[in-house]
Structure 1
Amino acid sequence: DESARPYTFKSFATEAIHVGQEPEQWTSMAVVPLISLSTTFKQHSPGQHAGFEYSRSGNPTRNCLEKAVAALDGAKYCIALASGLAATVTVTHMLKSGDGVVCMDDVYGGTNRYFQKVAAEFGLDISFADCTKPELLKAALKPNTKLVWIETPTNPTMKVVDIKACSELVHEHNKDIVVVVDNTFMSAFFQRPLALGADICMYSATKYMNGHSDVVMGLVSVNREDLYDRLKFLQNALGGVPSPFDCYLCNRGLKTLHVRMERHFKNAMAAAKFLEADPRVAQVIYPGLPSHPQYEVMKKQCTGCPGMITFYIKGKLEHATTFLSNLKMFAVAESLGGYESLAEHPALMTHASVPENERRVLGISDTLIRLSVGLEDEADIIEDLSQALAAAVGFKHKHYLFCSAHKCFSSKLGSKIFLHSLLDRGMFVVR
Structure 2
Amino acid sequence: MSALDLILRLVKPGDTVLAGDDLYGGTNRLLGWLGTDGGVKVIHCNTSDAAALAPFLIPGQNKVTMVLLESPTNPMLKIADIAAIVEIVRAGAPDALIVADNTMMSPYLQRPLDLGVDICYDSGTKFLSGHHDLMAGIVTARTEEVGKRLSWFVNAMGTALAPFDCFLLLRGLKTLPLRMDRQQASCNLIATYLHTLGFKVHYPGLKADPGHELHFKQATGAGGVMSFETGDVVLSEGIVSGTRIWGISVSFGAVNSLISMPCLMSHASIPAHLRAERGLPEDLIRLCIGIEDPHDLIDDLETSLLDSGAIRSKPSAPFIDTFHALPTPLHANEEWVIKRAQTFERVRPSASDISAALAEITLREEEAVKEEIAVSAPGKVILFGEHAVVHGVTGIAASVDLRCYGVLTSSPPSTTSSSKVTLVLPDLEFSQTWESSVLPWDLAPSWSIDTAPIALDEILLNRVEELAEASSGPREKVSVAAFLYLLVLLGTGRDQSSVTFTARSALPMGAGLGSSAAYSTCISLALLLHHKVITPPRLPAPATAQHIHISHNGRRAIDAASIEIIDKWAFLSEKVIHGNPSGIDNAVSVRGGAVAFRKTTPQRGEGGMEGMKSFASVRFLITDSRVGRDTKSLVAGVGARLAKEPEVIEPILEAIQSISDEAKRCLSDAEMGREELIEGLESLITENHLHLAALGVSHPSLEKIISLTSSAPFNLHTKLTGAGGGGCAVTLIPDHLPASVLDTLVASLASAGFAPYLTAVGGSGVGFLHADQRVAGLAAGHLKSGLETEPTVELDAWAKGRGKWGYA
- The TM-score with structure 1 as length reference comes to 0.73
Distance 1:400 1:126, change over 3 A: farther
Q: Match for 1:263: what amino acid?
A: R
Gaps of 5+ in 2: 345-808
Q: 1:392-430, CA deviations, whole angstroms, 9 ceiling, x for partnerless residues?
A: 125444555575489xxxxxxxxxxxxxx9865442123
Distance 1:130 1:423, change over 3 A: farther
Q: Match for 1:86: what amino acid?
A: S
Of 143, 156, 171, 1:224 maps to 143
Of 158, 163, 174, 1:239 maps to 158
Q: Match for 2:33: what amino acid?
A: K
Distance 1:385 1:363 in 2: 26
Q: 1:22-421, aligned counterparts within 5 Å?
A: 85-141=1-57, 142-279=61-198, 281=199, 283-314=200-231, 316-397=232-313, 399=319, 404=326
Distance 1:400 1:326, change over 3 A: farther
Q: Match for 1:249: what amino acid?
A: L
Q: Secondary structure at the match of 1:153?
A: coil
Q: 1:4-15, aligned counterparts within 5 Å?
A: none
Q: Match for 1:230: what amino acid?
A: R
Distance 2:250 2:332 in 1: 28
Distance 1:299 1:321, change over 3 A: same
Distance 1:255 1:356, change over 3 A: same
- Name the counterpart of 1:39: none
Q: Secondary structure at the match of 1:220?
A: strand
How far does residue 240 in structure 1 lie from its aligned partner after superposition?
2.1
Q: Match for 1:134: what amino acid?
A: A
Q: Match for 2:28: what amino acid?
A: N
Distance 1:89 1:299, change over 3 A: same
Q: Match for 1:153: what amino acid?
A: P
Distance 1:123 1:163 in 2: 28
- Name the counterpart of 1:78: none
Q: 1:154-180, CA deviations, whole angstroms, 9 ceiling, x for partnerless residues?
A: 011110111111111111223211100
Q: Secondary structure at the match of 1:206?
A: helix
Distance 1:394 1:183, change over 3 A: closer
8 Å contact from structure 1 (residues 346, 368) kept in 2: yes
Q: Secondary structure at the match of 2:78?
A: coil
Distance 1:400 1:139, change over 3 A: farther
**Alignment coverage as a number of residue pairs:** 331
CA RMSD of aligned residues (A): 2.0
Distance 1:228 1:430 in 2: 55
How far does residue 305 in structure 1 lie from its aligned partner after superposition?
1.2
Distance 1:94 1:423 in 2: 47
Q: 1:135-169, CA deviations, whole angstroms, 9 ceiling, x for partnerless residues?
A: 21111225410000011110111101111111111
- The TM-score with structure 2 as length reference comes to 0.40
Q: 1:61-111, CA deviations, whole angstroms, 9 ceiling, x for partnerless residues?
A: xxxxxxxxxxxxxxxxxxxxxxxx111111110121111100011000000
- Name the counterpart of 2:455: none
Q: Secondary structure at the match of 1:126?
A: strand
Distance 2:191 2:221 in 1: 14
Distance 2:268 2:279 in 1: 13
Larger Rg: 2
Of 322, 343, 353, 1:430 maps to 343
Q: Secondary structure at the match of 2:100?
A: strand
How far does residue 239 in structure 1 lie from its aligned partner after superposition?
2.1
- Name the counterpart of 2:718: none
Gaps of 5+ in 1: 1-84, 407-420
Q: Secondary structure at the match of 1:320?
A: helix
8 Å contact from structure 1 (residues 87, 202) kept in 2: yes
Distance 2:296 2:229 in 1: 21
Q: Match for 1:305: what amino acid?
A: A
Distance 2:135 2:22 in 1: 22
8 Å contact from structure 1 (residues 268, 306) kept in 2: yes
8 Å contact from structure 2 (residues 126, 253) kept in 1: yes
Q: Match for 1:430: what amino acid?
A: T
Q: Percent identity?
A: 35
8 Å contact from structure 1 (residues 128, 140) kept in 2: no
Distance 1:294 1:394, change over 3 A: closer
Q: Secondary structure at the match of 1:180?
A: strand
8 Å contact from structure 2 (residues 192, 334) kept in 1: no
Q: Secondary structure at the match of 1:375?
A: coil
Distance 1:235 1:167 in 2: 26
Distance 1:395 1:246, change over 3 A: same
Q: Match for 2:15: what amino acid?
A: D
Distance 1:151 1:288 in 2: 17
Q: Secondary structure at the match of 2:127?
A: coil
8 Å contact from structure 2 (residues 313, 343) kept in 1: no
Q: 1:327-381, CA deviations, whole angstroms, 9 ceiling, x for partnerless residues?
A: 0100011111110000001110000011111111333223110010110001011
8 Å contact from structure 1 (residues 270, 425) kept in 2: no
Q: Match for 2:72: what amino acid?
A: P
8 Å contact from structure 1 (residues 120, 126) kept in 2: no
How far does residue 391 in structure 1 lie from its aligned partner after superposition?
1.3
Q: Match for 1:268: what amino acid?
A: C
8 Å contact from structure 2 (residues 247, 258) kept in 1: yes
8 Å contact from structure 1 (residues 181, 202) kept in 2: yes
Distance 2:321 2:37 in 1: 54
Q: 1:268-306, CA deviations, whole angstroms, 9 ceiling, x for partnerless residues?
A: 000000111114x3x111110011111111110110011
8 Å contact from structure 1 (residues 157, 364) kept in 2: yes
